[in-house]
């Protein structure tokens, strides 16, 4: 886009134009070094003057008490900084970089999901020793889902066992990534002391006397690395020529391949999702992070470089929203947070228009307007008030009350609904009971606010027992929720044992008939429905449709009948769990001219569904986790034996040095308290990670015990 064209899209009042704005996320497997990398970025960008450490509980982006105590990231932290490249096409031009540091633990995958939805690019962090790990794969899939351009940072090059080449290979093999080094390391493990830039063919050597890593010497490539650097540069150019016609023409025509020509090709290929630049470094030892920042500016897209945001109007017609400060406002609320000082904060990505404090925005979901009293730029737990925000910006709104994650907020009269993020269903639940009547009210308020913040946290009431049930993505997720309830909302409550969120499904196709007939003096009730049920593949969801003809059921009773089917699916016949992955077709029924009502047909739909399920060889499904364990070889036998006792299916075993890594599929019900078990079996030296893999049919012996446990009012 020409300079004149971009100028017309930028408000003259904005400090950093759209082309000099980057919205990026930093994402990876737990403990790969995301937060440490973010802390170093903030230090080098001048936002903080002392580098925080995760292990010391002083990281700026880990601002929650629970994060600092546990040394993990739980909630996405948004922070803004500025950076000026020293070399390349953007040299000397200050850029605005908005960064979101996302959690690595699988229980908080929703935080990653909603962050990636609103980002323009990402830095994927990998461990140089472990390479690709399970949550790395999940994050990569999420990036693919939202078509997020990315670069990769191979961190921990200073660690024993660090292998840059092996880490890049694992990206290609396990992720299918088009990963190619644009820098190669000088040395490894304790001898790691610099990087070679393959575009400029210069070496960056770090000064051993400067522990901060602020200073490094740029000069010629050491003789012992010249051959490797030349071969790596040739491989880089060939990879770029395969996906970039402009560079291919230059390369094949014998033209000069300047550093800037290579960089321009990397940018084009990255934006098209056909290339992933890889950079080695050690965030903890302060090496390579400046190269990551330079690469963010050089290779990750500005809002103008990407296709317009997709959405639709109230009639379901597709439309696009492109960055333009002069257009009507349209943006997405992607995260909520309850702040003790200012109340409800709505994190907001503006896709078009300019927003000023004191203005009003229309919520397409509620049909109401919200007055925005303040606009904030977040700096982790600190914040700066601003007067205006523009297209491409990420800010926080104060004053918007009736807003949930995924809401589109726009100028009144602008008929637009932007595509929201999607979230997985909870897999684990527990009961929670207040200790006193005073706690009851506080608990209800606390749970409501926490559910508003987190779309994967669900609160419900067991109809049989009256117990309050909370459901989430894992033990740690619910543990954090409980902890926040006790600390932030001062609630005294007792929590039950975690329970698995099983699912029920149809084993075969079936038909069902439901009649609801009541005659008890006065007006009677009559509803009659016939339905067909077909099982769908796992993960396909629920489809309910009307195929009646000839008015066998009047039009006004169709919707109540379908609603009855959906309501019945909330409680299956095997053990009372939600029924998933089926198609229900309403094809026949009858009505009474006088006695038929919406309520009668809703009950008929409900009865028809239950009847069908009783005919259909229903099956119970349990969540199965993908588990990966790394252990010293001497404990391998004990851990494998324990996994077998947990109904685990071993899928892969790899040995590297003195360590063994194996992956397995294990039912979630068998993994409670596993962290204590694996530490005990390995004397504290093994580590593991797990993420949801699939729902699988429960074996008959297990089914019987689950059914017994749900009798007599036990909650599920």
Q: Which DSSP string corresponds to 455-469?
A: TT-EEEE-TTT--EE
Specify the 3-state DSSP secondary structure of 100.
strand
Specify the higher pLDDT residue, 334 or 317: 317
Report the range of poorest mean pLDDT among 66-70, 136-140, 440-444, 626-630: 66-70
Tally of residues, the chain: 716
Judge whether residue 454 has pLDDT over 70.
yes
Could you give the count of Cα atoms lying within 13 Å of 278 in the half-sphere of its Cβ? 28
Distance between CA 330 and CA 231 in Å, rounded?
48
Separation of CA 570 from chain center:
26
DSSP letter string, 68-94: HHHTS--S-EEEEEEEE-SSSTTTT-E
* Mean pLDDT of the region 636-654: 92
Structure tokens at 410: 């726009």
Supply the pLDDT for residue 479. Answer: 82
Report the range of poorest mean pLDDT among 55-69, 158-172, 579-593: 55-69
Distance between CA 390 and CA 388 in Å, rounded?
7
* Mean pLDDT of the region 448-471: 80
Distance between CA 473 and CA 456 in Å, rounded?
7
Enumerate the β-bridge partners of residue 639: none
Asked if residues 84 and 95 have their Cβ atoms less than 8 Å apart, the reply is yes
Count Cβ atoms below 10 Å from residue 307 Cβ, excluding itself: 9
> pLDDT-based confidence at 555, cuts 50/70/90?
very high
Supply the pLDDT for residue 515. Answer: 96
Q: What is the pLDDT of residues 268-298, one digit of tens each?
A: 999 999 999 999 999 888 888 989 999 999 9
Enumerate the β-bridge partners of residue 584: 533, 544
Give the mean pLDDT of the chain.
Answer: 85
Supply the pLDDT for residue 55. Answer: 39
Q: What are the φ/ψ torsions at residue 252 (nearest 5 degrees)?
A: -75, -25
Structure tokens at 411: 């100028």
Report the range of poorest mean pLDDT among 81-90, 177-186, 565-574, 591-600: 81-90
Supply the pLDDT for residue 420. Answer: 75
Highest mean pLDDT among 179-183, 415-419, 427-431, 459-463: 179-183
Enumerate the β-bridge partners of residue 530: 513, 588
Asked if residues 96 and 80 have their Cβ atoms less than 8 Å apart, the reply is yes
> pLDDT-based confidence at 474, cuts 50/70/90?
confident
Asked if residues 397 and 345 have their Cβ atoms less than 8 Å apart, the reply is yes
Supply the pLDDT for residue 54. Answer: 42
Supply the pLDDT for residue 209. Answer: 73
144, burial (CB in 10 Å: exposed 0-12, middle 13-18, buried 19+): middle
* CA-based max dimension of the chain: 101
Structure tokens at 386: 């601003």
Structure tokens at 456: 């994967």
Q: Report the chain's C-alpha Rg in angstroms.
A: 28
Q: What is the pLDDT of residues 513-553, one digit of tens each?
A: 999 998 766 678 999 999 999 999 988 889 999 999 999 99
With tokens 């490539």, the residue in question is 221
Specify the higher pLDDT residue, 217 or 560: 560
Judge whether residue 463 has pLDDT over 90.
no
Supply the pLDDT for residue 53. Answer: 45
According to DSSP, the β-strands at 121-127 and 150-155 are parallel
Structure tokens at 604: 């008929």
* Mean pLDDT of the region 420-432: 77
Highest mean pLDDT among 109-118, 194-203, 207-216: 194-203
CB neighbours of 175 closer than 8 A, spacing ≥ 6? Answer: 132, 136, 137, 140
Of the candidates 528, 643, 620, 636, the one whose C-alpha atom is nearest the C-alpha of residue 574 is 620
Structure tokens at 576: 């009372």
Of the candidates 557, 659, 556, the one whose C-alpha atom is nearest the C-alpha of residue 601 is 557
> pLDDT-based confidence at 409, cuts 50/70/90?
very high
- Please say whether the dihedral angle defined by the alpha carbons of residues 487, 492, 494 and 495, taken in this order, is positive or negative: negative
Q: What is the pLDDT of residues 298-325, one digit of tens each?
A: 999 999 999 999 989 888 899 999 999 9
DSSP letter string, 537-584: -TT--EEEEE---TTSS-HHHHHHHHHHHHHHTTS-SSSSPPB-SEEE
Q: What is the pLDDT of residues 233-255, one digit of tens each?
A: 999 999 999 999 999 998 888 87
Specify the 3-state DSSP secondary structure of 659.
strand
Distance between CA 129 and CA 161 in Å, rounded?
5
Distance between CA 682 and CA 643 in Å, rounded?
14
Asked if residues 377 and 80 have their Cβ atoms less than 8 Å apart, the reply is yes
Asked if residues 638 and 537 have their Cβ atoms less than 8 Å apart, the reply is no
Helix (H) or strand (E) holding 450: helix 437-453
Judge whether residue 214 has pLDDT over 80.
no
Distance between CA 113 and CA 473 in Å, rounded?
13
Distance between CA 232 and CA 238 in Å, rounded?
10
Q: What is the pLDDT of residues 127-157, one digit of tens each?
A: 998 888 766 777 788 788 889 999 999 999 9
Judge whether residue 73 has pLDDT over 70.
no
Query: In Å, what is the CA distance from 246 to each residue of 264, 372, 580, 658?
Result: 10, 47, 50, 47
Q: What are the φ/ψ torsions at residue 665 (nearest 5 degrees)?
A: -105, 120
322, burial (CB in 10 Å: exposed 0-12, middle 13-18, buried 19+): middle
Distance between CA 263 and CA 300 in Å, rounded?
11
Supply the pLDDT for residue 107. Answer: 47
Q: What is the pLDDT of residues 4-40, one digit of tens each?
A: 567 778 888 888 899 999 999 888 766 667 778 888 8
Judge whether residue 396 has pLDDT over 90.
no
Supply the pLDDT for residue 111. Answer: 61
Asked if residues 107 and 473 have their Cβ atoms less than 8 Å apart, the reply is yes
Distance between CA 260 and CA 522 in Å, rounded?
86
Judge whether residue 347 has pLDDT over 60.
yes
648, burial (CB in 10 Å: exposed 0-12, middle 13-18, buried 19+): buried
Sequence-ordered strand ranges (E) for 435-509: 458-461, 468-472, 493-495, 499-500, 503-505
Supply the pLDDT for residue 100. Answer: 77
Supply the pLDDT for residue 220. Answer: 93
With a pLDDT cut of 90, the percent of the chain lying above it is 44
Distance between CA 332 and CA 316 in Å, rounded?
18
* Mean pLDDT of the region 456-468: 78
Judge whether residue 466 has pLDDT over 80.
no
> pLDDT-based confidence at 711, cuts 50/70/90?
low
Judge whether residue 556 has pLDDT over 50.
yes
């Amino acid at each position: 886009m020409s300079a004149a064209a971009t100028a017309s899209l930028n408000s003259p009042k904005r400090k950093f134009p759209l082309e000099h704005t980057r919205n990026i996320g930093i994402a990876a497997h737990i403990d790969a070094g995301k937060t440490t990398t973010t802390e170093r970025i903030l230090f080098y960008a001048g936002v903080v003057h002392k580098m925080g450490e995760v292990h010391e509980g002083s990281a700026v982006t880990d601002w929650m008490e629970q994060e600092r105590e546990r040394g993990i990231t739980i909630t996405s932290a948004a922070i803004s900084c500025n950076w000026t490249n020293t070399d390349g096409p953007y040299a000397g031009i200050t850029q605005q970089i908005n960064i979101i540091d996302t959690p690595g633990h699988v229980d908080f995958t929703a935080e990653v999901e909603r962050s990636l939805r609103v980002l323009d690019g990402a830095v994927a962090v990998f461990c140089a020793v472990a390479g690709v790990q399970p949550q790395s794969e999940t994050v990569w899939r999420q990036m693919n889902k939202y078509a997020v351009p990315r670069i990769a940072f191979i961190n921990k090059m200073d660690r024993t066992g660090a292998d840059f080449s092996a880490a890049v290979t694992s990206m290609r093999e396990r992720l299918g990534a088009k990963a190619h080094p644009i820098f190669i390391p000088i040395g490894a493990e304790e001898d790691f002391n610099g990087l070679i830039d393959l575009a400029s063919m210069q070496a960056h050597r770090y000064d051993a006397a400067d522990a901060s890593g602020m200073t490094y010497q740029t000069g010629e490539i050491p003789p012992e690395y010249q051959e490797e650097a030349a071969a790596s540069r040739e491989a880089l150019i060939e990879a770029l020529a395969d996906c970039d016609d402009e560079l291919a023409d230059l390369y094949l025509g014998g033209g000069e391949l300047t550093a800037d020509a290579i960089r321009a090709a990397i940018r084009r290929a990255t934006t098209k999702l056909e290339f992933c630049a890889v950079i080695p470094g050690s965030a903890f030892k302060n090496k390579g992070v400046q190269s990551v920042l330079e690469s963010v500016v050089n290779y990750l897209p500005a809002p103008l470089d990407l296709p317009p945001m997709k959405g639709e109007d109230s009639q379901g017609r597709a439309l696009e929203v492109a960055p333009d400060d002069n257009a009507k406002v349209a943006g997405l609320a992607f995260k909520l947070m309850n702040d003790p000082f200012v109340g409800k904060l709505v994190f907001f990505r503006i896709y078009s228009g300019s927003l000023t404090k004191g203005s009003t925005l229309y919520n397409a979901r509620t049909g109401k307007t919200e007055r925005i009293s303040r606009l904030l730029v977040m700096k982790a737990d600190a914040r700066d008030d601003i007067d205006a925000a523009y297209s491409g910006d990420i800010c926080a709104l104060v004053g918007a009350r009736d807003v949930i994650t995924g809401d589109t907020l726009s100028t009144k009269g602008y008929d637009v609904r932007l595509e929201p993020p999607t979230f997985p269903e909870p897999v684990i639940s527990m009961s929670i009971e207040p200790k006193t009547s005073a706690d009851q009210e506080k608990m209800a308020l606390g749970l409501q606010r926490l559910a508003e913040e987190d779309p994967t946290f669900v609160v419900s009431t067991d109809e049989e027992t009256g117990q309050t049930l909370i459901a989430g993505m894992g033990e740690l997720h619910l543990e954090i929720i409980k902890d926040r309830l006790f600390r932030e909302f001062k609630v005294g409550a007792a929590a039950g044992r975690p329970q698995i969120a099983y699912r029920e499904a149809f084993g075969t196709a079936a038909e069902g008939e439901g009649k609801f007939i009541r005659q008890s003096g006065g007006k009677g009730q009559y509803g009659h429905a016939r339905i067909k049920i077909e099982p769908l593949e796992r993960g396909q969801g629920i489809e309910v449709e009307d195929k009646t003809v000839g008015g066998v059921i009047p039009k006004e009773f169709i919707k109540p009948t379908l609603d009855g089917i959906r309501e019945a699916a909330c409680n299956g016949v095997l053990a009372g769990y939600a029924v998933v992955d089926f198609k229900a077709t309403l094809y026949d029924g009858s009505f009474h001219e006088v006695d038929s009502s919406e309520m009668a047909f809703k009950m008929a739909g409900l009865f028809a569904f239950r009847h069908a399920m009783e005919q259909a060889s229903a099956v119970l499904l349990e969540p199965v986790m993908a588990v990966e364990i790394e252990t010293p070889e001497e404990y391998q036998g004990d851990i494998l034996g324990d996994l077998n006792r947990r109904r685990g299916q071993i899928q892969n075993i790899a040995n590297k040095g003195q360590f063994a890594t194996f992956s397995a599929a294990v039912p979630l019900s068998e993994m409670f308290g596993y962290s204590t078990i694996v530490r005990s079996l390995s004397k504290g030296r093994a580590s593991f990670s797990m993420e949801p893999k699939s729902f699988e049919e429960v074996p008959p012996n297990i089914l019987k015990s689950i059914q017994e446990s749900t009798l007599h009012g036990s909650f599920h």
